[in-house]
Amino acid sequence: MKNVYERIKQDHDVHRQLLDGIADTTGDSQQRRKLWTQFYYDVKSHAAAEEETFYSKLMEDPDGQDDARHSVSEHKELDDIMEELQSTDFSSPGWLTRFGTLKHDYEHHMEEEENEIFSKARELFNDEMAVTFGEKFAKRKAAERELVDEKADQSLVE
């Protein structure tokens, strides 16, 4: 059974590939739309599941609160950029520029999670807890996948 660190890292590896693939596209191409859609839905469901099943547990421990809050804050910043890109003309010169910011910021976020946050979490969670959180993460991510459009519509209303 995969623990939460393995599941999150597995997603990150897919996200890195998608980011590289999107960066190699030009204009409002079918390839850009396909890769972006896959990235958009996977990252949205990944982040929500991560916050609900991993960061919420990290926040319960005083030693994990600062790191968890920092990462959740980064999720919000990345989500804002993704929503901006989602509503911008894919052939606009500004789209790729803004995507470059997203790519840089998200790659930094993933690296920080894998190298710093996971290290802190391993001090706080035993192996059994990490496996349980991994199972909950996988289930929550699948459920969140169905809610991505609904949540995006709600955020536009606010």
Q: Can you tell me whether residue 92 is helix, strand or coil?
A: coil
Displacement of CA 23 from its chain's centroid (Å): 17
pLDDT of residue 158: 46
Give the mean pLDDT of the chain.
93
pLDDT at 157 over 80: no
Q: What is the pLDDT of residues 7-37, one digit of tens each?
A: 999 999 999 999 999 999 999 999 999 999 9
> What residue spans define the domains of the chain?
4-157
CATH class for the region spanning 4-157: mainly alpha
Q: How many CA atoms lie within 13 A of 80 on its CB side?
A: 8
pLDDT of residue 35: 97
What pTM, to 2 d.p., does this model score? Answer: 0.91
pLDDT at 153 over 90: no
